[in-house]
Amino acid sequence: MQSKDQSTIFAEHAVKWIDDKQGINTKVIDVRDRSILADYLIITSGSSERQVAAIADNIEYEAKKIDMTPKGIEGERGARWILLDYYDVIIHVFHEKEREFYDLERLLKDSRNDPVTDEN
């Protein structure tokens, strides 16, 4: 069995941290074969601004515990779409309506979904 790389392990952790705050319809998209910017994009939703902020805050809090700090965070003030850039793993936390409008999954439909749950 192949060992998991650091970005895959971090993506698995991020999904758990999202689940801890009841993220909605979380998708992990493997973009290693399509992008030099990241290995994985994680997209999730919250049903309110408060939940979107709580999901993003939890990711940042838990990542800090394992000495992972983001390269950048965008969109915190409005809490309708927060992007957390952890180098090889980029996490988008959307309010449900913004996620529907921007539909990032459609743009990446040819990429492999949920690779952190696949058994290799």
Cα angle 94, 44, 110 (rounded to 5 degrees) comes to 110
pLDDT in tens, the chain (120 residues): 445 799 999 999 999 999 999 999 999 999 988 888 899 999 999 999 999 999 999 999 999 999 999 999 998 767 799 999 999 999 999 999 888 887 877 776 665 555 454 433
Separation of alpha carbons 8 and 69, rounded Å: 16
If you compute the radius of gyration of the chain from its CA atoms, what whole number of angstroms results?
A: 13
Quick one: tokens of 100? 């529907």
pTM for this entry: 0.85
**What are the structural domain ranges in the chain?**
6-117
Separation of alpha carbons 72 and 97, rounded Å: 24
Cα angle 81, 36, 103 (rounded to 5 degrees) comes to 30
Where does the chain have alpha helices with state H? 6-20, 49-65, 96-102, 104-107
Tell which CATH architecture fits domain 6-117.
2-Layer Sandwich (3.30)
